Structure 1
Amino acid sequence: MTNDVLKYSSETQGIVSRVSLPADEEPEILSLRPERLSEYVGQAEAVETLEIAIAAARKRNEPLDHVIFHGPPGLGKTTLAHIIANEMGGTLTVTSGPALEKGGDLIGILTHLAEGDVLFVDEIHRTPKTVEEFLYPAMEDFAVDFVFDKGVHARSHRFRLKRFTLVGATTRVGLLSAPLRDRFGIFRSLDFYNEADLIKITLRSAALLEVEIDQAGAAELAKRSRGTPRIVNRLLRRVRDYTQVRADGVITRDTVAAALALEGIDEKGLTRLDRSYLKTIINFYNGGPVGIEAIAATLQEETDTLVDVVEPYLLKIGLLIRTSSGRKAAEAAFRHLAIVPAEKGQKSLFGE
């Protein structure tokens, strides 16, 4: 080895070495997800069910029953899948229903699962029917059946899989086929979070992000987050940016209100799309009832967006009424938007 090579090796030793440095172990993106059930906030009944099922499965030294979570987006379905894998000591493999276009896609994933691993399928109701049929023997018998050749030469071969746990998540549980739904041993619904739990999540996330926030600021964020942890964490990041640039770095009730005013989010957590949805029903259709297709056409939005994203929270807080003849704006919606019903006087929008 020449002197030049020795010199180069000495100069770069701090950059390239056989020793794992602290920087090698740092995550690229800070995750706010809890990793254990003990850290999980909210959904008390679902968490207790999982605690009992996981403890029993570990005592029997067998995989957890297949689990399905359903509920609106952002309530923790994916987070619970990560927690189940951590608690059971297995590796998590993540995919989604639309990504499994062919049976071979699913078989490739299943055959690579080790004993005790967890397969998470998001939006499982959108799995193609031909792919879904491969799940039936995999969930019940931990096996998949291959068919070779065609016609009179066709023959079947059963491939044994390692025992695994399937965790499914869906926002449209009614679209699940009965054969698939019945093969899940644990069936839990996740509901919107109350304000107290959202405050706990906000304070925990702020500590992880190393952001200073007072109790009033956390309460204001929780109130505007639509009962959804994913939204409260997203809003916390936006308020953090605003506070660091326009304020003294401490998140308070006033900085939350100012920052979210720029985002178009009001004191009830309604976005511009939520308010446009309600105003469409009130102004164009006299408060309803009106069909969802008519509302979607007026707003030039997809029907699925309105049904899955907008309506659940409006129904939850009583601003929207869904009837057999269509959607109606509740009296609370008129009051919130400062609109006087037509039969009582002249309508007046607060403008936006």
Structure 2
Amino acid sequence: MAREPILSASTNDDEINHRLRPQYMRDMIGQRDVIERLQISISAAMKRGEPLSHVLFDGPPGLGKTTFATVIPRELGVNVHLASGPTLKAPKDLVPFLTNLQERSVLFIDEIHRMPRGVEEYLYTAMEDFRIDLVLGEGVNARTHNLPLKPFTLIGATTRAGMLSGPLRDRFPIREHLGFYDLSEMTRIVQRSATKLKIDTDPDAALELARRSRSTPRIANTRLLWVRDYAETKANGIITVPVALDALAMLEIDTLGLDKQDRAYLTTLVRVFGGGPAGVEAIAHTMNTAADTLSDEVEPYLLRLELVVRTPRGRMATAKAYQHLQLNMPTDG
């Protein structure tokens, strides 16, 4: 029987979001091709009595990278130790994690792309040869000691795989990209979360929540929690379609899942810059916000919905954006 993983570091998710996460792969919705490939690798590793090969998950935030990282150890029946790339500032910060690993256990490094290059390079021998080099002493008296490690599995998660060095990426035999979820999968996720939270939710209300959650489970769960609070305050705790629509309207979430900031971006691009082309810096200054906020948080979804396109001259609004804003698209001449 699989043991419950030991979480050796705290996560950023609150207790509710942790409760909503699936515990085993059989409980997961979506990402079926990824799950099938992982199940084969896990089964083979367990039959051989070896650690699972190192795994790298990449993809946008909220699609299940951390969920996979906590589910895999349960499937293997081993412990998992959690670390975060930004906190690993020097090789010495890795040593406690690596030396405390048990046989075939899992080390999960979230945001692995944010580790300094020196820390990446320190991982090479640990991943390939299961050993690390410790420098004892200083100056002319310093000497190197080779410390063997127990065979383990490293699971890395990143939203920017391109920021990892090639040598580190190549040391992950299993690389999986997590894609967005379709509407039926999102609806099932909302319904499952509602059941876990013991929320009385109409199927059509779950569908509407799913439709406005950007194909991302984390966003769906966050918005479900808000609608639950709204329903408990305004509608005796029952989430119907009108209740869901009223709650989302209070958050200013529209039919495409755009929020107030998304629409402000589109409106600025259309009204101030005539639909573009316009640079993100100019748009950010006009909106009085940071350019990286727009490029990292706002633009990816607008680009995915084909409401905005990037050109060599700047961002441009599409006909679909004008239609969504219920504005007439300007004609040439």
TM-score normalised per structure 1: 0.86
Give the equivalent residue in structure 2 for 1:240. Answer: 228
CA contact (8 A) 1:57 1:64 kept: yes
Give the equivalent residue in structure 1 for 2:164. Answer: 176
In 1: Cα distance, 2:135 partner to 2:189 partner: 50
Of 95, 98, 101, 1:110 maps to 98
The alignment partner of 2:30 has SS state of coil
Question: What do the CA deviations read for 1:157-182 (whole angstroms, capped 9, x no partner)?
Answer: 11111111111111111111111111
Give the equivalent residue in structure 2 for 1:201. Answer: 189
**Greater Cα radius of gyration, structure 1 or 2:** 1
Deviation at 1:339, TM superposition (A): 2.1
Question: What do the CA deviations read for 1:301-349 (whole angstroms, capped 9, x no partner)?
Answer: 333332332222222222121223322111111111122234489xxxx
Deviation at 1:152, TM superposition (A): 4.3
Alignment of 1:272-287 (within 5 A): 272-287=260-275
The alignment partner of 1:62 has SS state of coil
Give the equivalent residue in structure 2 for 1:77. Answer: 65
Deviation at 1:122, TM superposition (A): 1.1
% identical aligned pairs:
50
The answer to whether structure 1 residue 314 and structure 2 residue 307 are counterparts is no
Moved over 4 A (4+): 27-30
Question: What do the CA deviations read for 1:169-207 (whole angstroms, capped 9, x no partner)?
Answer: 111111111111111111111111111000110111111
Deviation at 1:82, TM superposition (A): 0.4
Letter in 1 for 2:116: P
The alignment partner of 2:42 has SS state of helix
Give the equivalent residue in structure 2 for 1:296. Answer: 284
Alignment of 1:222-261 (within 5 A): 222-261=210-249
Deviation at 1:150, TM superposition (A): 4.5
Q: 1:192 to 1:292 in 2, by over 3 A?
A: same
In 2: Cα distance, 1:227 partner to 1:113 partner: 36
In 2: Cα distance, 1:295 partner to 1:320 partner: 13
The answer to whether structure 1 residue 337 and structure 2 residue 321 are counterparts is no
Q: 1:304 to 1:116 in 2, by over 3 A?
A: farther
CA contact (8 A) 1:144 1:161 kept: yes
Q: 1:302 to 1:182 in 2, by over 3 A?
A: farther
Could you tell which deviates more after superposition, 113-122 or 220-229? 113-122
Of 157, 161, 165, 2:153 maps to 165
Structure 2: segments with no counterpart, 5+ residues? 1-13
In 1: Cα distance, 2:286 partner to 2:84 partner: 31
In 2: Cα distance, 1:271 partner to 1:235 partner: 12
In 2: Cα distance, 1:47 partner to 1:311 partner: 29
The alignment partner of 2:231 has SS state of helix
Would you say how many aligned residue pairs link Structure 1 and Structure 2?
Answer: 319
Structure 1: segments with no counterpart, 5+ residues? 1-26, 346-352
Deviation at 1:268, TM superposition (A): 0.8
Of 49, 52, 55, 1:67 maps to 55
Of 244, 256, 266, 1:268 maps to 256
Question: What do the CA deviations read for 1:14-64 (whole angstroms, capped 9, x no partner)?
Answer: xxxxxxxxxxxxx96561000111111001111111111111111111111
Alignment of 1:117-132 (within 5 A): 117-132=105-120
Deviation at 1:140, TM superposition (A): 0.9
CA contact (8 A) 1:171 1:308 kept: no
Deviation at 1:88, TM superposition (A): 1.0
The answer to whether structure 1 residue 33 and structure 2 residue 33 are counterparts is no
